[in-house]
Structure formats: structure tokens, C-alpha cells
Amino acid sequence: MTTSPRGAVLQRDGETYAIIPSLNGGLLDLPTLKKLTEVVEKYQIPIVKLTGAQRLALVGMQGKDVENIWNDLGMEPAPAVGNVVRSIQTCPGNAVCKNGKQNSLALSSKLQELFLGKGLPSKLKMGVSGCPICCAEPWLRDIGLFGKSDGWTVVVGGCAAGRPRIADFITEGLSDDKAVELVGKIINVYADNAKKGERIGKLIDRIGLEEFKALI
Ligand code: SF4
């Protein structure tokens, strides 16, 4: 068995690879866009695909080019596979959206800085929305947060898999710092109590919501 190049996933043709550079909250600035277009042109990458988690997948490059592509991009691979904290789906929030009640981009950036890539019993996805309209789908994420005028609401245990699960309400009215603190506790409780491969929603179903809340 050959080892895939760094941060690359072999595609179904058995020959070419895909990579997903890490983005913070799905944000792209002009220098990053320029680097991406230069790399796509230089290596003739045939597919550039937005993923469901607001990342950008570059698909179809040769394995020998992957390390040079990372070097040209100056970016790191997103934790897109495996049992880790994945990239955080984030809406624009009150930085730009007229409906926004809280700064989802700032909170998401802090959560990503603290927890992205942390190893866990199964994958863990988060969604952060600036208001209860919930464009970043927090009710369908393992940990979801959405803003109201008085702070952050936290919901846990959602997923949008083959058998979707709506998250359970945990608490509301949290400051940014308290929300980050609670997410850290939830992740630790999950790490300490879940079986291998068990998402947070399954853990809650197994031990009960009240027991889960007591642990956090
Ligand atoms: S969730 Fe609310 S703040 Fe975020 S983009 Fe949607 S409407 Fe705007």
C-alpha cells in the first residue's frame, strides 16, 4: 500500500488526489484567492469545488505535485477526514448581515483556533450562526451556536447524516467567553465518555440528556 502525499485524498480513479486547504470560517481574502488561481492554472487542476463545510477542495492533481502545491499556497490542510474537530461552518453574522445579533465570525475563529483538529472518538462538526435564522445549520451540527440579543444559545448532538438528528438545547444567553468555555467542556465530556465512532448525539441518546448536561 502506498502512502498518500501530505493532506491528500486519493480519488476513485486510483491515480489523482484532492486536497482541502484550511479556511477560517469560509473566509477568503484577495491574496489567498490569487494564490489559489495561480496554483490551479500552474498545475492544471481540473476541479475546484466548494464543500458543504465552506471549504475549497482542489481535485484531480497528480501525487507528485501535492507537496509543491502546498508550498505554493502557503496553506495547511484542513482536518477534512478522520475523528477530529472539523472546520466550523459559519455565517457572516453581525459583521455584515442586517439580521445578525452576535459576531459569529469572531466566535468561530476563536473556536477554530482552540479546537480545530483535536482528536476525538468520532468526527465533530460545529456550526455558528449570528442569529436564530441559523443559516450555518447549528441544529444539525454536533455542537451548534446561534446568537440572540442577550448572547449565545448552545445546542448539542445534531447531525445531518443518513439519519439526521436535531440537536438538543443546552443553554442560552452566554457571552463569547462563556460560550467558548462551554464548548471546551462539551468536547472534553465527549472525549471522556463516548465510545469509538460514537457521535455526540448517539452519546446523548445512550446516557440521556440530563446525564449529559450534568457532566458538563
Ligand atoms: S444566521 Fe442570521 S446573521 Fe447569520 S447570515 Fe443568517 S440571517 Fe444573517
pLDDT at 22: 87
Determine the pLDDT at residue 88.
92
What integer pLDDT is reported at residue 51 of this predicted model?
86
Residues having CB closer than 6 A to ligand 1 are 91-93, 97, 99-100, 129-131, 133-135
Per-residue model confidence (pLDDT) at position 25: 81
Segments of the chain scoring below 50 in pLDDT:
none
Distance in Å, CA 125 to ligand 1 centroid: 19
pLDDT reported for residue 150: 97
Which residue among 94, 97, 128 has the greatest number of ligand 1 atoms within 8 angstroms of its CB, and so is best to mutate? Answer: 97
158, 167 Cβ separation under 8 angstroms:
yes
Q: How far is the CA of 190 from the centre of ligand 1 (A)?
A: 28
d(CA 183, CA 203): 16
Residue 153: closest CA among 170, 137, 166: 170
Q: What is the pLDDT of residue 173?
A: 98
Which residue, by CA, sits nearest to atom 2 of ligand 1?
131
Q: According to the model, what pLDDT value does residue 2 have?
A: 63
pTM: 0.90
* CB of 3 closer than 8 Å to CB of 90: no
pLDDT the model gives residue 59: 96
Which are the contacts of 82, defined by CB distance < 8 A and separation ≥ 6? Answer: 123
